[in-house]
Amino acid sequence: MSAPRLALTSIERRASIALASLFACRMLGLFLLLPVFAVAARGLPGGDSPARVGLALGMYGLTQAFMQIPFGLASDRWGRRPVVVTGLLLFIAGSVVCARAPDVFWITIGRAIQGSGAISAAITAWLADATRDEVRARAMAMVGGSIGLSFAVSLIASPLLVGEWGLRGLFWVIAALGVASLALARWVVPQVPANDARSMQSVRPSQVLKHRDLLRLNFGVYSLHFIQVSLFVVAPALLLSTGGLQADQLWKVYLPVILASFVLMVPGVIYAEKRRAHRGALLCSVAGLVVVCGLLPAASHHFHTLIVALTGFFVAFNILEALQPSLVSRLAPPAYKGLALGFYNTAQAAGLFSGGALGGWMAGHAGSSAVFIMAAGLALAWLLVSWGLRPLS
C-alpha cells in the first residue's frame, strides 16, 4: 500500500489559505482593540472606570463562550458557509454599534453583538472538511500562524490608527475587516460536501460530550489559554522593567518572538504528520510548557532570559494550537465535528476568561512568581491528563 501524499492538493491549499486569511482578518479586528482601548476609552463617559472598561473588553469572550456550541451544531446541520456568513454579519453589526457608541455602555453592547457571531468552531470544522487527516495539522498551523501574525500587526497598527482617527475610527476599521472576512467566506473559500443526514441520526450529541479523548483535549485547550492569558497579565510589566522599555516599544519584543516561534514550530508539526506522532508531539509540547513556566520565576529577572523563555512558550503554544484542533476533528464523529469543535472553543473561551481573572488576582496578592508557578502546576496537571490520550490508529 502506497504511503499517503503529504503535499496539500490545490483544493486543500486554496481552502487553507482562504480560511487562514479569513481568520486573520477577523482576529486582527479583535486584536486591534486590545493594546489601546483602556487608554482611548478615557475620552468617553464611563471610560474612567476600570471595571466598565474591563467588562467591555471581556463581554466579547462571554458571548463567544455561550454561542460556540450552538453555532458549531448549526454548521453541522445547515453547512459551514451559511453559519460563518451569519456570524460575520453579527460581527460587522456589533462593530458598527461600537463605532457609533456615545459611551462605554454602548460599546459593551456592541462587543456582546460581536461575540455572538461565534464562528471559530464552524471555520475550524470547515477546514477539517476540506483537508485530509495526513495534512490537517499543517493546515491548522497555517491558521495558527495567521492569527499570530495578526496579533503582531495589531501591536504596531493599533496605536497608529487611534492616533490618526481616534477610537471611533478604529471601530470602523474593525467593521471593514469584518466585511473583508465576509467576502472571503462568501466567494473565495471553496465549497465542501455537506454532512450526510443519515450519519447525524446514528450519533447522539451526548457521545461527543462524553468522549474521553475529546474531554482531554478540551481540558488541554482550557489550560493552554488559561496559561497564555495569566502569563501576559504579568509579562509586559516585566519586559518594561527588565528591558528599560516604554509601552509603545513592546512590539519590538513581541514581533521577533512570535516570528521566531513560528519558524521553530514547523519541524515539530511536520514530524508529527509524517510519523503520525501526534500524541508524542502533544505530550512533548505540554512537558515543554511545564519546564518553561517552572523556569520563569528565575528567568523573569533578566531581560534576555525572559525573551528566551517567552520564545520557548510560543513554540510549544503554536504546536499545540495546530495539533489539538486537528485531533478534535479526527476523533469527533464525522457528523458532529462542528459540535465537538464548539465544545472545544467554549473551553478555550473559558480558559481566556478565567486565566485573566485568576492570573490578575494572583499577581495582585502574591506577585508574578506565583502566577508562573500556578501556570506550571496547571501544565503539569494537563500533562498527566493527556497521558491517557490514545495514539491515532
Q: Are 281 and 323 in contact (CB under 8 A)?
A: yes
Segment 227-245 mean pLDDT: 84
Q: Are 125 and 337 in contact (CB under 8 A)?
A: yes
Thinking of the domain 202-393, which architecture would CATH place it in? Up-down Bundle (1.20)
pLDDT of residue 103: 94
Segment 243-259 mean pLDDT: 79
> What tens digit of pLDDT does each residue of 162-219 get?
888 989 999 999 999 999 999 999 999 988 775 544 444 455 667 777 889 999 999 9
Which of the two residues, 380 and 58, has the higher pLDDT score? 380
All residues at 6 or more sequence positions from 207 whose CB lies less than 8 Å from its CB, including other chains: 333, 336
CA separation for the pair 241, 247 (Å, rounded): 10
pLDDT of residue 182: 95
CA separation for the pair 127, 145 (Å, rounded): 15
Q: Strands (DSSP E) along the chain, which ranges?
A: none
pLDDT at position 232 over 80: no
pLDDT of residue 254: 78
All residues at 6 or more sequence positions from 380 whose CB lies less than 8 Å from its CB, including other chains: 290
Q: In CATH, which of 1.20.1250.20, 1.10.287.3510, 1.10.1060.10, 1.10.357.10 is domain 11-190?
A: 1.20.1250.20
∠ Cα 23 24 29 (to 5°): 100
Segment 277-304 mean pLDDT: 94
* Mean pLDDT for the chain overall: 85
Residue type, 317: F
pLDDT of residue 203: 55
CA separation for the pair 226, 378 (Å, rounded): 9
pLDDT of residue 71: 92
Residue ranges of domains in the chain: 11-190, 202-393
CA separation for the pair 128, 137 (Å, rounded): 9
DSSP codes of every residue in 29-67 = HHHTTTTTHHHHGGGSTTTT-HHHHHHHHHHHHHHHHHH
pLDDT of residue 201: 47
pLDDT of residue 331: 86
Segment 97-108 mean pLDDT: 94
CA separation for the pair 32, 163 (Å, rounded): 13
Segment 302-329 mean pLDDT: 89
> What tens digit of pLDDT does each residue of 353-365 get?
777 778 878 888 8
Q: 238 pLDDT band (50/70/90 cuts)?
A: confident
